[in-house]
Structure formats: structure tokens, C-alpha cells
Amino acid sequence: MSEEPKWVQVYHKILDFLEKYDRKRRFNFKGSLAKEFEKLREEFRDSFIDYILGLEVNVAKEWIGHLFKEIKLLRKNLNVDGVLFSKELRSFLEDPHAHLRKKIFNYMYDLFRLKIDTEEFEQVAGAALRTSLRTNMRSIYQGWVIAATLNLLAEEGGYLVYPEHKYISFERSGKQKLGWIPPNTVMYVEKKGFISLFIEAPRPIGWEDTQDLKKAWRFYTALRPDMLVYGGKVLNIVRLGQDPPIERPHMIIECKELEDWYVRVRDMRGPFAKPLTAEEWRSKWIQGLWDGLADILGVKRAEAVETVKEKKTLRLKEPQILTLYRKFYNPDVMVLVSRARVPENIVEELRESKIEVVDNVGYNRENLRELVEILLKIAKHTSGKISMEIDWETYAQLEKLRRTLGISREELLRKIISLALKHREELL
């Protein structure tokens, strides 16, 4: 007979303790009893986390190190004070173990109160731990790809244009306004133009429009790539009253952190399950969505609708979901970034669907050069100027020099900068 897992052994100690000191399960201990219970409780949580996740938490800590290293360089390259993460990810980054302990808190007390047994606890609390770890490790890798890409763009002569304050947000919650979805970052690259990056957009937003548009938006919030990219300075992608209701992206970037991501499946029935009105069916982009789904399923559109009606689930493999993104958003280019090497047959399958693959990236920034080259190709110049604050005396001196030379302020600044770059050693 095999020995019980450590967490079960500790649980029996806790039960004995509670039967002796707290049969009514009020958990209102004082003094030495409070310390003893707390010690047993934390030993229970830590041993359960170790039982479910093993060394995966240590791997997560290594990934966090890679992310922080890239962000440190990003702060230097773009002259920003920091990066903003979601509340969930920020908590995980600060202390993975403490974050995971919180995820099983309620289940643990249900177990202590005998509302559930050890088998049910292992099932529900184990699922909560695995989901939290998987979600956060996915966010960590996506964050690293973004930071590393911005660092490479900075090497190419890129500057941060938006946001104007000193923090870059790597998440989207709270960014939506009434009918408006702003970018996370806009970069300007010398001699190339602007690149606007939208992370995990679109999300639900406020509408002053028809109920039909609210219904239709569920497709966009369900089919949400990791990143939408636009050439040019794009500060809002919502197009109210248009079909489709968001600006067509020039590029989609999808990140995959798992080695076996391509064998995994997701249930995509949710956004397709609700019947559409006749008015909704007249939308070209909704028709295109169903055509894309039908193509993936290998049937006609009408058959795809019937298939969804009949089935309780619509399970698609990850490569099929990527293809659906491609067909739905119709970008000029779509790129998959994979931490691990992708099998050749999967690469060919994706390329047949016009999806480029940058794989075996790991945590090596140089392996993202190919991605950056594609980004530079979609960069676009946008008309407009920026204002620059200088003190009055400096302005007076510039005006005096401009009048002497008889040229415009813009031309004067270009000449001053050109001269300064030629003699930069003397300025240091």
C-alpha cells in the first residue's frame, strides 16, 4: 500500500487539531493555538501546491526572471518608469507561491469544514492551481515577447510616441471608453514610420448604438488575438456604424508558450451558439466569420450553422483557431511566435493558411529579428506634428538664429541636429 501524499497526512493532523480545539469550525484561535494552526495550514497549502505542480513553480520563477530582465532594458531604451500588468499577473509576479496559496483558500476551508472530501478537494483545488499557473505563464511569455520586440524596435531607431506618460500598459482592462479602444503603445521608427500595438483587443466596451451591434460584438470579444498591429499612428480601432465595426488590422501576432500547444483544443461554440437575426445575417463580416468556420470544418455555411446547433461543443484545435482568426480579421500578415520548435507539418499547415511561423524563440531576443523585420515593413508615416516645450530664452535664441539664416524653424532644427550629430564627441 502506497504512502499517502504529504498534504493528506498534514490534513489528518489538522483534523485532529480541529476536533480537539475547534469542533464548531470557527477558526478563531488565540496565542499559541493560532500559531500552531497557521503553521499546519501553510504546511498543508505548500505541500498540496508541491503535489499538484511540482517543479513547475520553479520554472515559472525562471520565466519571471527573463521577463524582468527584458523590462529593465525596456525602461532604459524607451525612457519609461515601468510597465503596468493586470492585477492577477502582478500578484503572481510578486510572489508565485503566495498567489497560488490564495487560489485554494476557499476550497481549503471547505475541506476543513468537511463540506468536501479530499478527493473533491484535489479535483477542484488542483484545477484552480493548474489554471492559474497556465494562465500566468502564458501572460509572462506574451509580456516577454512584447518587451523584447519593443527593445528590438528601439535598436532600429524606434521611439515611444504613445502613451505620453512614463508607463507602458501590458494589459487592456479599463482601457476601453465609450466607443473607443486605444492602443497600448505607438512606436515611431526612424525613416520607417509609426507602428501601433493593441494587446488583447477588442474587449467589451460601452455602446450608444443598437442592441444588434451589442450582440454582434460578442464575436469579437470571443475571437481575440494576442496582438493587433497597425501601420501608422492609430489611436482608436472602433468604427461605429461600419461593417466590420473595427479597423482591419495590418498584422496579427499570436504567442504560444507551450511545447505542445498545437495538439490542444478549445471549445469555441459559445459565440456561435446564439441564433442570429436577419439583420445580423446581412452583415458581411458575420457572413465571413461563418464562411471561415465552415471552411475549417470542411462544410458549407448552412451546414456549419446546423453543426453548431446540433452539438453541445465546438472543439477546434489551436491551429484551426489561428486560421479562424486569419479569416475573421483578414490582416495583411499574421505571425505565430512559438517559444518551442513547431513540427514541420504544423508549420506547413499554418503557412497554407497564410500564417507565418517564428518558432524555437525560447527567451532569446535575437530570435525575434524576423518578427521585427515584418513589423518594419508595415510601419507607415502619418501626417502631423508634435509640440515641444522649451524655455523662453532658448526660444528667443532659436528665433534670432532663424532670422539670421532666413529659414523655417523646422529646417533650422534639422540643421542644428545634423551638425550636432557630426560633432557629438565635442558635445560630450
Containing structural domain, residue 404: 392-427
User: What does the pLDDT read at residue 164?
Assistant: 85
User: In whole angstroms, what is the distance from residue 364 CA to residue 383 CA?
Assistant: 36
Residues 6 or more apart whose CB falls under 8 angstroms from that of 369 comprise 152
- CA gyration radius, the chain: 27
pLDDT reading at 271 higher than 80: no
Under the banding of pLDDT at 50, 70 and 90, the label for residue 209 is: very low
Q: What is the mean pLDDT of residues 217-227?
A: 72
Between helices 96-103 and 118-155, what is the axis angle to 10°? 140
Q: Are 254 and 222 in contact (CB under 8 A)?
A: no
β-sheet bridge partners, residue 336: 254, 357
Q: Which of 20-24, 202-206, 399-403 has the highest mean pLDDT?
A: 20-24
Q: What is the mean pLDDT of residues 289-294?
A: 75
Considering the domain boundaries, does residue 377 fall inside one? no
| 3-state secondary structure (DSSP) of residue 404 | helix
Considering the domain boundaries, does residue 113 fall inside one? yes
Considering the domain boundaries, does residue 329 fall inside one? no
User: What does the pLDDT read at residue 174?
Assistant: 61
Domain final residue, candidates 113, 138, 163:
138
User: In whole angstroms, what is the distance from residue 220 CA to residue 244 CA?
Assistant: 10
356 vs 290, more confident: 356
Q: Are 196 and 228 in contact (CB under 8 A)?
A: no
Considering the domain boundaries, does residue 66 fall inside one? yes
User: In whole angstroms, what is the distance from residue 180 CA to residue 399 CA?
Assistant: 40
User: In whole angstroms, what is the distance from residue 121 CA to residue 125 CA?
Assistant: 5
User: In whole angstroms, what is the distance from residue 248 CA to residue 378 CA?
Assistant: 13
Note the Cα 92 to chain centre separation in Å. Answer: 15
Across the chain, mean pLDDT equals 88
User: What does the pLDDT read at residue 417?
Assistant: 85
Which of 150-159, 169-178, 201-210, 400-409 is predicted least confidently? 201-210
Closest residue by Cα to residue 364 from 41, 61, 145, 128:
145
- Report pLDDT digits (tens) over 369-389: 999 999 999 999 987 777 777
Number of domains making up the chain: 2
Q: Are 111 and 18 in contact (CB under 8 A)?
A: no
Considering the domain boundaries, does residue 220 fall inside one? no
| 3-state secondary structure (DSSP) of residue 158 | strand
Residues 6 or more apart whose CB falls under 8 angstroms from that of 282 comprise none
Domain final residue, candidates 138, 153, 177:
138
User: In whole angstroms, what is the distance from residue 243 CA to residue 213 CA?
Assistant: 10
pTM of the model: 0.86
Considering the domain boundaries, does residue 234 fall inside one? no
Q: Are 314 and 267 in contact (CB under 8 A)?
A: yes
User: In whole angstroms, what is the distance from residue 202 CA to residue 53 CA?
Assistant: 33
Domain final residue, candidates 97, 120, 138:
138
Give, in order, the Cα–Cα distances in Å from 37 to each of 13, 44, 98, 116. Answer: 10, 10, 18, 20
pLDDT reading at 217 higher than 80: no
Considering the domain boundaries, does residue 28 fall inside one? yes
67 vs 266, more confident: 67
pLDDT reading at 207 higher than 70: no
Q: Are 337 and 358 in contact (CB under 8 A)?
A: yes
pLDDT reading at 283 higher than 80: no
User: In whole angstroms, what is the distance from residue 188 CA to residue 154 CA?
Assistant: 9
Q: What is the mean pLDDT of residues 335-354?
A: 98
Considering the domain boundaries, does residue 24 fall inside one? yes
Under the banding of pLDDT at 50, 70 and 90, the label for residue 234 is: very high
